[in-house]
Amino acid sequence: MRIAIVDESAGRAAVICEGLAVLDDCELFVVTERRGLVARIEEIKPDIVLMDLGNPSRDMLEEYFSVSRALARPIAMFVDSSDEESIAASIEAGVSSYVVDGLAPHRIRPILDLAVKRFNAFARLQADLAEAKGKLAEREAVDKAKRILMDNRGMSEPEAYSELRRTAMNQGRRIADIAEAVITAHQLLGGQNA
């Protein structure tokens, strides 16, 4: 596992490294420079990012949240104190674990595990949502193509669906692809948006 530790303070970064010493097969990369942070993180290609910010200013938080938004990785963020606005902003930015006043070596491993599990659960939810949206879009295309066939060829709904299905089978394509082709052809031939 590749872990990037982002902290301007070498002392605080050492606490995180100490907490991760128990992990086998783990590469640690400590990043102490804020400038070029996104590029440096992309160069490291970590499996997880641990950020210790101490008492960050609003500007500093926003800068680190921009890093979080740019990465598709679990991120655990440690701060000394916080407020509701910062917590909400961190969640919006995709931070998997936001830990207030909790930087201690014995807490690092459980926090790391939680961040990875939350990130994976959220990624599954996003994938499921994308799949559901895709299926809904396909269904809408099939319904639209059926309406076009019903209007232009005087077919009933079952006949229109059977025609789409038969054509898809004959061409070895998906019904949704045939539906999109019917919609495109209808639009090209001057048909109204169905």
Give per-residue pLDDT as tens, 73-88. Answer: 888 888 887 778 877 8
Q: Burial, 35: exposed, middle or buried (Cβ in 10 Å; 0-12, 13-18, 19+)?
A: exposed
- With a cut of 50, which residues of the chain have pLDDT below it? none
**Distance separating alpha carbons of residues 11 and 14, to the nearest angstrom:** 5
What is the layout of strands, in order, in the sheet containing 27-31? 27-31, 2-6, 48-54, 75-79, 97-100
What does the pLDDT read at residue 148? 96
**Which pTM does this prediction carry?**
0.64
Phi, psi at 4, each rounded to 5°: -95, 130
What does the pLDDT read at residue 18? 86
**Distance separating alpha carbons of residues 5 and 11, to the nearest angstrom:** 12
**Distance separating alpha carbons of residues 98 and 89, to the nearest angstrom:** 11
DSSP state of 192: P
What does the pLDDT read at residue 146? 97
- Whether residue 119 is contained in a domain is answered as no
What does the pLDDT read at residue 57? 65
What does the pLDDT read at residue 142? 96
CATH code, domain carrying 45: 3.40.50.2300
Residues 168 and 178 sit within 8 Å (Cβ to Cβ): yes
Which domain does 70 fall in, by range? 2-103
Q: What rounded mean pLDDT belongs to the chain?
A: 86
CATH code, domain carrying 150: 1.10.10.10
- Whether residue 57 is contained in a domain is answered as yes
DSSP state of 193: P
**Distance separating alpha carbons of residues 4 and 1, to the nearest angstrom:** 10
**Distance separating alpha carbons of residues 73 and 65, to the nearest angstrom:** 13
Together in a domain, 23 and 72:
yes
Together in a domain, 141 and 81:
no
